Amino acid sequence: MSTKLAPRSPALPVPSDARMPAIPDGLWALMAEIGPKWGTNTKGHIQLMIAEFSKLLANQPTDGVTVERDIAYGPHERQNFDVYAPAAGTATGQALIFVHGGAFTEGHRTKTPEIYANACYYLARHGILAVNMGYRLADSVTFPGVSEDIGSVVGWTRGNAARLGIDADKIFLMGHSAGGAHIGTYAYDKRGRPSFGHGLAGLIVLSGRVRADNLPENPNAKRVESYYGTDNSKFDDMSPVSHVDKDSLPTFIACGEFENPLIDLYCFELAHKFAAAKRKAPPFLWMKGHNHTSTIAVLNTAEDKLGQAIRSFIAETAP
């Protein structure tokens, strides 16, 4: 994808990419080795990549970012979020809420101290306030329960816009893996929306499982069933991709070359649905050499194609 960066105000300091840790040759080699066989051991490969990128991101820049942690938005222990605020004088007025993955049954907004903080530090360093939210898993809630959690956090962010120094009309939602499914349901499916609507300026889907399935080739089929149920005749109606239409909010989509089985297919299907509905293709980034985990872990490293594309999308969608 050819990425045109929106012009930055010369009054705003721009973080130096030279201070962002570079992916070493050894890690690139490991990614190339396991990539073609990613689907044979998704859980093991994810754990390996989390460990390797956590070591790399231990040196990530966090300068100027203020973090307010463990803000509760509900009674459940997972209904908490952290706010990453830009340094004074650098804020753009834009905000982004991040929803982590975990195959519907696990995962945490703090996978490690470095992941997923890397995404939030990166955004905040570029003037975009970031909210890293937790949510109830499939042991506590089933479809479409997580949409309620997302709506609560969007509502809190909008209600606190003045205190946070953001524009309530410039809030974006980003989700990775199962988080991509949850944000898609919230944004595209008009049923059960909060009274204020979706309340968003745009959506960013990273390696999102935007179609529910329990197919034999899906190693997480049982986990999908834990959230969506076992009646696959209902899956199409439950799938975010099925609810895209000409009025759907602007969406940026990215996936890796080596994904958990079917996820790349569903990301391309989402792009096609948008193109057909709006008669114009949405922004899409296919990340050569990257895998399901590195598509999110790469943020705040010197490999900045995804970060630049996300910032460009935000700037162009909510100028």
**What are the strands, taking DSSP E only, across the chain?**
66-72, 80-85, 95-99, 129-133, 171-176, 202-206, 251-258, 284-291
- Domain annotation covers residue 6: no
Query: Residue 173, Cα to own-chain centre: how many angstroms?
Result: 7
**pLDDT tens per residue, range 243-301:** 999 999 999 999 999 999 999 999 999 999 999 999 999 999 999 999 999 999 999 99
| Sequence-separated (6 or more) residues with CB below 8 Å from residue 182 | 99, 135, 146, 147, 150, 175
Q: What is the mean pLDDT of residues 104-112?
A: 97
CATH number at residue 85: 3.40.50.1820
- Domain annotation covers residue 28: yes
**pLDDT tens per residue, range 74-97:** 999 999 999 999 998 899 999 999
Residue 243 DSSP symbol: G
- Domain annotation covers residue 4: no
- Number of domains into which the chain is organized: 1
- Domain annotation covers residue 114: yes
* Residue 307 Cα distances to 125, 187, 293, 298, 301, angstroms: 11, 22, 15, 8, 9
In 3-state terms the chain splits into helix, strand, coil percentages (rounded to 5) of 40, 15, 45
- Domain annotation covers residue 244: yes
**pLDDT tens per residue, range 166-221:** 999 999 999 999 999 999 999 999 998 999 999 999 999 999 999 999 999 999 99
299: closest CA among 288, 289, 311? 311
What pLDDT, on a 0 to 100 scale, did the predictor assign at position 32?
98
- Domain annotation covers residue 248: yes
Q: How confident is the model at residue 98 (pLDDT cuts 50, 70, 90)?
A: very high
- Domain annotation covers residue 173: yes
Helices (H) and strands (E) in the chain, counts: 11, 8
Domain that holds residue 46: 23-317
Residue at 287: amino acid letter: M
Phi, psi of 292 (to 5 degrees): -60, -35
